[in-house]
């Protein structure tokens, strides 16, 4: 068969190192092949051919699975039993492997079983076919393991809810008892455990020597999937010999992992405590007997990890019993505590969810009654364990860079567990205990204490700070008094500065500490360690944010700081200082706030003016300094936001003065994309800050943006006009509206030229901002949008928004198109129409008549391609409007558009159905 050779050739492409085009071509061919009706027969031939390449056989099995899911309608009902028998025969043929093919064929059979009502008892037939021969038992177990996963997990199979429920009962629920008996019998044949007796006639069909460790693991895995599916109840399982066997399997390295999975699922299934108390009474004594294994297996991390999973699952499931019957169940808490203390930090977090949920239960119980002191002791021990785990190793060179990063991330997770300790023990008690660790360490003398011993508790106090009472007058004052005596090691200073950041709300309630803490923070900026400087910036930001009403008098000091030490800071740290200053200014009265903002802003504006007017070309460093200054100005404006609708005197002339500087700077240096971004972001904040006062400069802003976009094609120069139109689009000032029109037409010509030179995906940011401009014009200035001769070009260009991968852009483009089609001027039933509405309607009708074919192509290509699922409603609405206003043209467009869609993505049957629906 020619198709077989073509298939093998296409698969062979992936075994070599081909170019991208070859890969895409082969992948497209294979996708189309998988959906073709001929694939059924070709794949059957491949699976029957012993000489076919292994990759081709696997692809054939995968194709059967895919076609059973998506394309079973290609097989007539009378041929479905034959298809089932074909798959059964293939499974027999490959019962020795490869396993990958067995899995795919089992998945295909599970899909057939779900969709073929005439197959009355698939499970029994599979048992009869594969279950009595030791050589095929693994194949049966693979099918039985996959069956509940596929039935419950493959939502792509087309079934009604009633059909699905009926088949679930037949495939799973009605077979649960039979399955348990069968698996128990197989496990007995393996010689594992003390399993009960089964009829001799059954056992003679399965010689004991035929069942291997692999089969025992398959049995356990099969039990797990049926437990997960909820088909095997905990009580039914506990009545079988498999219950004892699962615990006994923990003693063998070969079956330990599967036994852990089964027991975790079994425990999880007993979460309805009242209904499962008899089973719980069987489980818990066996778990407590396992507790001693944690100590015995200290050198075997994998085994300890498995035990940690079991104990943690039990602890989470039986939390209520822990509190109600503490004496009986508390050994589980002790076991989990031992797992938390294990030195392997990959194992420790397994226990964290238990401690969190238990803390929540303790808080609820404490509200109505007392709790056992045993739990307080458990959380005290847990806190000490976490403090130990938090410490960096004495020799950091023993950790790779990646290990160090992972450990730092993990410390934050441990910090959450420390918060759980605070919830149970009280934040004040935890802080005092942690602070005492530092005091004890410092008492030994600076030469006898390592930085790790100090930094770890400091990190813990930072984490606990999330639970802090801002009015605390016991623990936190002692911590604050301790700061000045701490070592100056960079890691210690870093941790201390972050404590100050976290405790800023407490500092606001205790302002007497501000001067000393600001001095400590200020010294952090002078540290040679960049992380310490960054932490100082963060501390200053939060102090200024939360304590701003106390810091007004410190503003001159901050200005002096910026003009001296601030120049030495890296930009990220300097930006945080400006953010801090913005917070302080925002807390001031309007007049002094305006003066203060003017002082800090004019430092930056003077820098921009100087570089714009200097006779020589600026250096790279000068341009970077300007970029940083713009970022800092944007940061301040973002925090301050504005002074209301009426500007104070200090700001009334600032808008025009500032724009003159920005206009010149943009003209000279706006071709740099980074600077363009910085410039326009400040302008955006300036529009918000000045509000209606910005109207006087709006035409000039639009003009500069128009010329800049025309010269550079940078999307930022589209973004700002969209914002200006959105704010002032209703204003009738002729200069302003003239600037809108000129910008619209210039930007459209430039955008069209860009699309001719490159694909929409190459200009995705420009596409998004251009579409947003059109949306603003349609809403605020429809006369400019529709009456211009540029409208047809603009609409055609807006279709680029349907050809990118960004979901937000696609939604915006769909909304724009829908708003145009749905414009009030297109409503023939409207009695009174404004004078310009006929002009708008004529422009829309003419443009859609010209561009409807391309619009339809973009919609259908996106619908079967990369459009987000939520876009379907808009697409349907667009189709409805096209059918109402352009019905004849729609029929003419649809056929050729459908022909261009790839068969692999849009089957011919679906294309024909859509065409019939539209033309009916």
pLDDT in tens, 224-239: 999 999 999 999 999 9
Q: Has residue 15 got a pLDDT over 80? A: no
User: pTM of the entire structure?
Assistant: 0.77
* pLDDT value, residue 192: 41
Q: What share of the chain is helix, strand, coil (3-state, %, to 5)?
A: 80, 0, 20
Q: Has residue 200 got a pLDDT over 70? A: no
Contact at 8 Å (CB) between 708 and 666? yes
Among 307-321, 348-362, 801-815, 820-834, the minimum mean pLDDT is found in 820-834
Average pLDDT of the residues of the chain? 90
Q: Has residue 199 got a pLDDT over 60? A: no
What is the rounded distance in angstroms from the CA atom of residue 72 to the CA atom of residue 524? 69
What is the rounded distance in angstroms from the CA atom of residue 568 to the CA atom of residue 551? 23
Three-class secondary structure of residue 328 per DSSP: helix
The pLDDT confidence band at residue 5, using thresholds 50, 70 and 90, is confident
Using omega within 30 degrees of 0 as the cis cutoff, is the peptide bond preceding 170 cis? no
Structure tokens, 292: 């001693």
What is the rounded distance in angstroms from the CA atom of residue 774 to the CA atom of residue 794? 8
* Selection from 185, 15, 44, 165 nearest residue 108 by Cα: 44
Q: Has residue 901 got a pLDDT over 70? A: yes
Contact at 8 Å (CB) between 497 and 521? yes
The pLDDT confidence band at residue 24, using thresholds 50, 70 and 90, is confident
* pLDDT value, residue 734: 93
* pLDDT value, residue 436: 95
* pLDDT value, residue 777: 96
The pLDDT confidence band at residue 205, using thresholds 50, 70 and 90, is very low
pLDDT digits (tens, 9 = 90+) for 129-186: 999 888 899 999 999 999 999 999 888 888 888 889 999 999 999 999 999 999 999 8
Structure tokens, 361: 């239960």
Q: Which residues of 224-257 are buried (b: 16+ CB within 10 A; e: fewer)?
A: bbbbbbebbbbeebbebbbbebbbebbeeeebbb
Question: Containing H/E element for 455?
Answer: helix 451-464
Q: State mean pLDDT over 722-743.
A: 94
* Selection from 153, 144, 97 nearest residue 124 by Cα: 144
Q: State mean pLDDT over 624-630.
A: 96
Q: Has residue 749 got a pLDDT over 80? A: yes
DSSP 255: T
Q: State mean pLDDT over 730-749.
A: 95
* pLDDT value, residue 905: 62
The pLDDT confidence band at residue 911, using thresholds 50, 70 and 90, is low
What is the rounded distance in angstroms from the CA atom of residue 328 to the CA atom of residue 285? 9
Structure tokens, 688: 């918000």
- Alpha carbon distances (Å) from 84 to 78, 125, 126, 437, 605: 11, 12, 12, 71, 78
* pLDDT value, residue 366: 84
The pLDDT confidence band at residue 482, using thresholds 50, 70 and 90, is very high
What is the rounded distance in angstroms from the CA atom of residue 255 to the CA atom of residue 263? 12
- Alpha carbon distances (Å) from 625 to 1, 573, 628, 678: 70, 14, 5, 12
- End-to-end CA, the chain: 40
- In SS3 terms, 626-665 reads as HHHHHHHHHHHHHHHCCCCCCCCHHHCCHHHHHHHHHHHH
Identify the burial level of 688 via C-beta atoms within 10 angstroms of its C-beta, where 0-12 means exposed, 13-18 middle and 19 or more buried.
middle
Q: State mean pLDDT over 896-917.
A: 71
* pLDDT value, residue 900: 80
pLDDT digits (tens, 9 = 90+) for 268-327: 999 999 999 999 999 999 999 999 999 899 889 999 999 999 999 999 999 999 999 999
Determine how many CB atoms are found less than 10 A away from the CB of residue 327: 8
What is the rounded distance in angstroms from the CA atom of residue 404 to the CA atom of residue 410? 10
Q: Has residue 537 got a pLDDT over 50? A: yes
- Alpha carbon distances (Å) from 560 to 363, 549, 591: 50, 20, 21
* pLDDT value, residue 84: 93
Contact at 8 Å (CB) between 186 and 137? yes
Identify the burial level of 105 via C-beta atoms within 10 angstroms of its C-beta, where 0-12 means exposed, 13-18 middle and 19 or more buried.
buried
Residue 450 CA, chain-centre distance (Å), reads 39
Q: Has residue 202 got a pLDDT over 70? A: no
The pLDDT confidence band at residue 210, using thresholds 50, 70 and 90, is very low
What is the rounded distance in angstroms from the CA atom of residue 277 to the CA atom of residue 266? 13
Q: Has residue 211 got a pLDDT over 80? A: no
Structure tokens, 177: 């008892």
What is the rounded distance in angstroms from the CA atom of residue 643 to the CA atom of residue 589? 10
Query: Between these two residues, 247 and 211, which has the higher pLDDT value?
Result: 247
- Alpha carbon distances (Å) from 747 to 682, 739, 760, 815: 22, 12, 16, 21
- In SS3 terms, 27-57 reads as HHHHHHHHHCCCHHHHHHHHHHCCCCCHHHH
* pLDDT value, residue 203: 45
Q: State mean pLDDT over 390-419.
A: 91
* pLDDT value, residue 398: 86
Determine how many CB atoms are found less than 10 A away from the CB of residue 493: 25
* pLDDT value, residue 724: 96
Structure tokens, 551: 């810091």
* pLDDT value, residue 188: 78
Ramachandran region, residue 160 (left: φ > 0; alpha: ψ -120 to 50; beta: rest): beta
Q: State mean pLDDT over 258-270.
A: 96
Q: State mean pLDDT over 479-494.
A: 94
Question: Containing H/E element for 198?
Answer: none
The pLDDT confidence band at residue 375, using thresholds 50, 70 and 90, is very high
Q: State mean pLDDT over 27-51.
A: 87
Among 336-350, 608-622, 898-912, the minimum mean pLDDT is found in 898-912
Most confident of 529-543, 634-648, 892-906: 529-543
Q: State mean pLDDT over 343-356.
A: 95
* pLDDT value, residue 6: 79
Three-class secondary structure of residue 894 per DSSP: helix
Contact at 8 Å (CB) between 766 and 820? no
What is the rounded distance in angstroms from the CA atom of residue 60 to the CA atom of residue 41? 10
């Amino acid at each position: 068969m020619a198709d077989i050779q073509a298939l093998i050739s296409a698969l062979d492409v992936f075994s070599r190192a081909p170019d991208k085009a070859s890969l895409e071509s082969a992948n497209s061919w294979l996708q189309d092949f998988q959906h073709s009706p001929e694939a059924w027969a070709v794949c059957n031939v491949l699976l029957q051919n012993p000489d076919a390449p292994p990759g081709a056989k696997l692809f054939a099995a995968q194709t059967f699975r895919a076609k059973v899911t998506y394309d079973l309608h290609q097989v007539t009902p009378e041929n479905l039993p034959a298809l089932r028998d074909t798959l059964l025969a293939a499974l027999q043929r490959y019962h020795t492997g490869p396993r990958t093919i067995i899995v795919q064929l089992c998945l295909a059979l599970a899909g057939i079983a779900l969709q073929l009502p005439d197959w009355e008892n698939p499970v029994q037939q599979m048992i009869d076919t594969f279950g009595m021969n030791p050589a095929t038992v693994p194949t049966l177990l693979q099918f039985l393991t996959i069956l509940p996963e596929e039935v419950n997990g493959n939502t792509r199979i087309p079934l009604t809810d009633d059909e699905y429920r009926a088949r679930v009962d037949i495939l799973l629920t009605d077979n649960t008892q039979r399955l348990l008996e069968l698996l128990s019998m197989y496990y007995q044949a393996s010689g594992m455990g003390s399993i009960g007796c089964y009829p001799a006639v059954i056992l003679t069909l399965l010689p004991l020597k035929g069942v291997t460790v692999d089969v025992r693991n398959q049995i356990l895995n099969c039990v797990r999937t049926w437990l997960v599916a909820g088909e095997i109840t905990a009580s039914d399982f506990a009545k079988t010999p498999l219950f004892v066997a699962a615990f006994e399997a923990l003693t063998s390295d070969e079956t330990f992992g599967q036994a852990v999975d089964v027991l975790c699922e079994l425990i999880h299934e007993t979460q309805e405590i009242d209904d499962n108390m008899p089973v719980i009474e069987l489980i818990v004594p066996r778990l407590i007997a396992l507790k001693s294994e944690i100590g015995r297996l200290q050198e075997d991390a994998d085994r300890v990890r498995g035990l940690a999973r079991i104990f943690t699952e039990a602890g989470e499931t039986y939390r209520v019993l822990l509190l109600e019957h503490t004496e009986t169940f508390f050994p589980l808490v002790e076991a989990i505590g031992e797992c938390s203390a294990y030195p392997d930090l990959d194992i420790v977090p397994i226990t964290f969810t238990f401690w969190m949920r238990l803390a929540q239960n303790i808080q609820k119980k404490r509200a109505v009654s007392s709790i056992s002191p045993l739990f307080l002791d458990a959380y005290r021990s847990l806190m000490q364990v976490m403090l130990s785990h938090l410490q960096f190793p004495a020799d950091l060179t023993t950790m790779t860079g990646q290990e160090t990063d992972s450990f730092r991330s993990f410390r934050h997770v441990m910090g959450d567990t420390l918060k759980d300790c605070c919830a149970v023990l009280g934040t004040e008690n935890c802080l005092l205990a942690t602070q005492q660790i530092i005091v004890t360490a410092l008492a030994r003398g600076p030469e006898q204490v390592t930085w790790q011993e100090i930094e770890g508790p400091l990190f813990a106090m930072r984490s606990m700070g999330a639970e802090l009472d801002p009015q605390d007058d016991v623990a936190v004052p002692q911590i604050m008094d301790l700061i000045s005596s701490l070592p100056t090691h960079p890691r210690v200073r870093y941790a201390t500065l972050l404590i100050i950041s976290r405790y800023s709300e407490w500092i606001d309630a205790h302002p007497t500490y501000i001067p000393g803490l600001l001095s400590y923070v200020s010294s952090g900026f002078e540290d040679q360690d960049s992380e310490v400087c960054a932490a100082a910036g963060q501390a200053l930001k939060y102090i200024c944010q939360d304590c701003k009403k106390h810091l007004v008098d410190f503003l001159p000091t901050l200005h002096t700081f910026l003009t001296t030490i601030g120049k030495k800071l890296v930009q990220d740290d300097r930006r945080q200082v400006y953010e801090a200053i913005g917070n302080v200014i925002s807390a001031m009265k309007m007049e002094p706030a305006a003066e203060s903002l003017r002082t800090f802003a004019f430092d930056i504006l003077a820098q921009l003016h100087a570089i714009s007017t200097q006779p020589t070309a600026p250096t790279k460093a000068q341009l970077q300094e300007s970029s940083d200054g713009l970022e800092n100005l944007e940061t301040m404006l973002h925090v301050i936001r504005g002074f209301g609708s009426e500007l104070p005197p200090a700001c009334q002339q600032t808008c025009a003065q500032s724009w003159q500087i920005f206009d010149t700077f943009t003209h000279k240096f706006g071709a740099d994309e980074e600077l363009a971004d910085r410039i326009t972001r400040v302008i955006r904040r300036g529009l918000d800050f000045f509000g209606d006062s910005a109207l006087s400069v709006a035409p000039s802003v639009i003009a500069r943006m128009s010329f800049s976009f025309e010269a550079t094609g940078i999307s930022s120069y589209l973004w700002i006009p969209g914002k200006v139109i959105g704010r002032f689009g209703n204003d009738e000032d002729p200069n302003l509206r003239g600037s809108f029109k000129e910008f619209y037409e210039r930007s459209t010509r430039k955008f069209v030229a860009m699309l001719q030179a490159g694909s929409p995906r190459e200009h995705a940011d420009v596409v998004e901002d251009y579409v947003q401009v059109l949306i603003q014009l349609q809403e605020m200035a429809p006369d400019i949008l529709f009456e211009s001769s540029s409208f047809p070009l603009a609409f055609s260009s807006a279709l680029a928004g349907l050809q990118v991968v960004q979901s937000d852009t696609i939604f915006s483009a769909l909304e724009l198109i829908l708003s145009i089609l749905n414009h009030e001027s297109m409503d023939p039933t409207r009695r009174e129409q404004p004078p310009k509405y006929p002009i708008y309607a004529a422009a829309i009708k003419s443009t859609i008549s010209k561009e409807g074919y391309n619009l339809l192509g973009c919609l259908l290509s996106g619908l079967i391609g990369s459009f987000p699922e939520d876009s379907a409603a808009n697409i349907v609405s667009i189709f409805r409007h096209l059918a109402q206003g352009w019905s004849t043209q729609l029929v003419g467009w649809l056929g050729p558009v459908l022909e261009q869609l790839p068969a692999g993505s849009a089957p011919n049957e679906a294309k024909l159905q859509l065409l019939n629906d539209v033309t009916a």
